[in-house]
């Protein structure tokens, strides 16, 4: 029958209203289970994506091993800096990059520290609690220099010390004792 009451349609004897009671609850449970499974799949995808986009960088051109004392919290690598093979400390995790060369006044046998990022970045550096002046050179993913500057010691905190930032995005940064010429390309040592 039409809603406005005018005219009528023959009754459909095969049409049935859904039963009330247990059947309605089953549909609700199925919908809730489907939503829960979809949410679980979404959470797993987020975890996997975060793991793939970890904040750990790597030197794609050099093998790293645990550094000697007193730098045991870092790795070390032998890399070519402007064609000369040298040992450097490697800061590849977020906590290592944050610590960097803070409170270090002697690099020992190391020529500097390479900061390895997982992706190109525009991260800034400070000299908070770093007692010696440092030269920093920023590099692209292929080891070519993109910028360079000298950084002065600062006894303050990250919030109060000046920030040093590359004018271009970079993948690696190399900090060395200040005073020399800007570092050239970095890469693997010749065999």
What backbone torsions phi and psi does residue 19 show, to the nearest 5 degrees?
-65, 145
Which position has the token pair 């944050």?
A: 98
DSSP of 111-144, one letter per residue? --EEEEEEEEE---EE-BTB-S-EEEEEE-TTS-
Q: CA–CA separation, 160 vs 13, rounded Å?
A: 82
The answer on pLDDT for 2 being more than 50 is no
User: Tens digits of per-residue pLDDT, 144-157?
Assistant: 999 999 999 999 99
Closest by CA position to 125, among listed 87, 145, 153, 144? 153
User: Tens digits of per-residue pLDDT, 158-191?
Assistant: 999 999 999 999 999 999 999 877 789 999 998 6
Q: CA–CA separation, 90 vs 67, rounded Å?
A: 8
State pTM to two decimals. 0.70
């Amino acid at each position: 029958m039409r809603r406005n009451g005018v005219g009528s349609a023959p009754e459909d004897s095969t049409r049935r209203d859904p039963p009330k009671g247990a059947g309605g609850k089953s549909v609700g449970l199925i919908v809730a289970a489907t939503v829960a499974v979809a949410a679980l799949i979404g959470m797993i995808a987020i975890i996997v994506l975060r793991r793939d986009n970890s904040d750990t960088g790597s030197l794609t051109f050099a093998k790293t091993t645990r550094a000697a004392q007193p730098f045991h919290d870092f790795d070390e690598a032998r890399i070519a800096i402007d064609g000369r093979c040298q040992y450097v400390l490697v800061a590849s995790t977020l906590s290592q990059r944050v610590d960097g060369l803070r409170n270090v006044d002697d690099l020992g046998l190391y020529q500097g520290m390479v900061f390895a990022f997982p992706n190109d970045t525009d991260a800034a550096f400070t000299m908070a609690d770093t007692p010696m002046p440092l030269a920093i050179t920023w590099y692209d993913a292929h080891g070519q220099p993109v910028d360079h500057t000298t950084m002065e010691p600062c006894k303050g905190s990250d919030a109060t010390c000046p920030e040093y930032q590359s004018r271009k995005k970079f993948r690696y940064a190399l900090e060395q004792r200040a005073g020399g010429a800007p570092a050239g390309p970095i890469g693997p040592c010749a065999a």
